[in-house]
């Protein structure tokens, strides 16, 4: 069955139709730049454009970059502060006339990876970490999602979150080698292991494509796998969330 999945990010909004039984995109991705400023009404208009591009008339799943509580944004991450307190599902429903299920974007990526990627059939406590502009975290126990873990927001130094120090954007900003940046990531991974004792960590996001360049500096005693769904994970997981509107 096909469902429209949409992945909202700070720089781009991407959508595609997804076969939720196989995790395969059945159309080319359609991408729009995230409006600047990224205020709710402007983003909602972009969502409507994506829906109309696919001439879609069914339920829609959407990943959004902050904590989502029953469809309501509890933060704004790298989006406009006006998002705080907005019922995103209702906003998008009013704008498009279609039912929406909105979840945290890292949770969406994790759903895809656990269902169709490296996390398939993995039991126990599994962390799916996306390394990009920030550090997203999808947390699963025996395959079930524990939503809204914002581990990249853990305070580290000078009152700044650890993702400011260890996300892939920090490597780019500081012009670090993968070896030096990998040591920063290792600090974050040791925090995670110390706090939660996961059975497995899966690394995704853009930096995971270069895993061979920093693998040797990671020193945690927990198995690490590289994500397999990569750039399509957010769209796939969003579509899976949208499918729950039908199956629930």
Q: Is the pLDDT of residue 231 over 90?
A: no
pTM, 2 dp: 0.91
Q: What is the DSSP letter of 217?
A: G
How far apart, in whole angstroms, are the C-alpha atoms of residue 42 and residue 86? 14
Asked if the model's pLDDT at residue 116 lies above 70, the reply is yes
pLDDT tier at 247 (50, 70, 90 boundaries)? low
Q: Topology of domain 2-107+232-247, per CATH?
A: Nucleotidyltransferase; domain 5 (3.30.420)
Say if CB 242 and CB 59 are below 8 A apart.
yes
Highest mean pLDDT (candidates 136-140, 156-160, 228-232): 136-140
Could you report the per-residue pLDDT of 210-225, keeping only the tens digit for each?
999 999 999 999 999 9
What is the rounded distance in angstroms from the CA atom of residue 7 to the CA atom of residue 24?
15
**With 60 as the cut, is the pLDDT of residue 227 above it?**
yes
Q: Give start and end residues of each alpha helix (H) in the chain.
A: 40-53, 88-96, 105-116, 162-166, 168-174, 178-196, 233-247
Distance CA 76, CA 134 (A): 13
Contacts of 199 (CB under 8 A, 6+ apart): 122, 123, 124, 125, 126, 222, 223
pLDDT band at 248 (very low <50, low <70, confident <90, very high): low
Sequence-distant (6+) residues with CB within 8 A of 238 are 5, 6, 7, 61, 62, 63, 103, 108
Pairing of strands 24-25, 100-104: unpaired
Contact 35, 42 (CB under 8 A): yes
The pLDDT tens digits of the residues spanning 177-188 come to: 999 999 999 999
Q: What is the Cα–Cα distance from 227 to 22, expressed in whole angstroms? A: 17
Q: For the chain, which residues make up each domain, given as ranges?
A: 2-107+232-247, 121-227
Provide the b/e sequence for 138-175 (b: ≥16 CB within 10 Å).
Answer: bbbeeeebeebbbbbbeebeeeebbbbbbbbbbbeeee
- Distance in angstroms (rounded) separating the CA atoms of residues 116 and 36: 34
Residue range 61-109, pLDDT digits in tens? 999 999 999 999 998 887 999 999 999 999 999 999 999 999 999 999 9
In 3D, which of 1, 43, 8, 42 has the Cα closest to residue 23?
A: 1
126-170-232 Cα angle (round to 5): 50
Distance CA 4, CA 64 (A): 15
pLDDT at 168: 94
Q: Do domains 2-107+232-247 and 121-227 have the same CATH topology?
A: yes
What is the CATH topology of the domain spanning 121-227? Nucleotidyltransferase; domain 5 (3.30.420)
């Amino acid at each position: 069955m096909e469902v429209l999945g949409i992945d909202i990010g700070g720089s781009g909004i991407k959508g595609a139709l997804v076969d939720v039984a196989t995790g395969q995109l059945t159309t080319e991705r359609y991408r729009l730049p995230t409006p600047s400023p990224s205020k709710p009404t402007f983003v909602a208009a972009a969502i409507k454009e994506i829906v109309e591009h696919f001439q879609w008339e069914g339920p829609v799943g959407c990943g959004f970059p902050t904590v989502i509580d029953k469809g309501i944004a509890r933060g704004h991450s790298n989006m406009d502060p006006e998002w705080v307190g907005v019922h995103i599902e209702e906003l998008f429903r009013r704008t498009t006339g279609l039912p929406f299920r909105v979840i945290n974007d890292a949770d969406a990526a994790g759903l895809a990876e656990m269902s169709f990627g490296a996390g398939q059939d993995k039991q126990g406590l599994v962390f799916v970490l996306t390394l990009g502009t920030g550090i997203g975290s999808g947390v699963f126990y025996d395959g079930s999602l524990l939503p809204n873990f914002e581990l990249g927001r853990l305070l580290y130094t000078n009152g700044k979150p650890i993702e400011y120090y260890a996300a892939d954007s920090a490597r780019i900003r500081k012009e670090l080698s993968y070896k030096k940046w990998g040591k920063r990531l290792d600090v974050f991974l040791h925090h995670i292991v110390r706090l939660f004792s996961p059975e497995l960590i899966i690394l995704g996001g853009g930096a995971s494509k270069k895993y061979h360049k920093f693998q040797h500096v990671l020193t945690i005693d927990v198995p690490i796998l590289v994500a397999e769904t990569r750039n399509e994970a957010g769209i796939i997981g969003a579509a899976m969330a949208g499918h729950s509107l039908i199956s629930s």
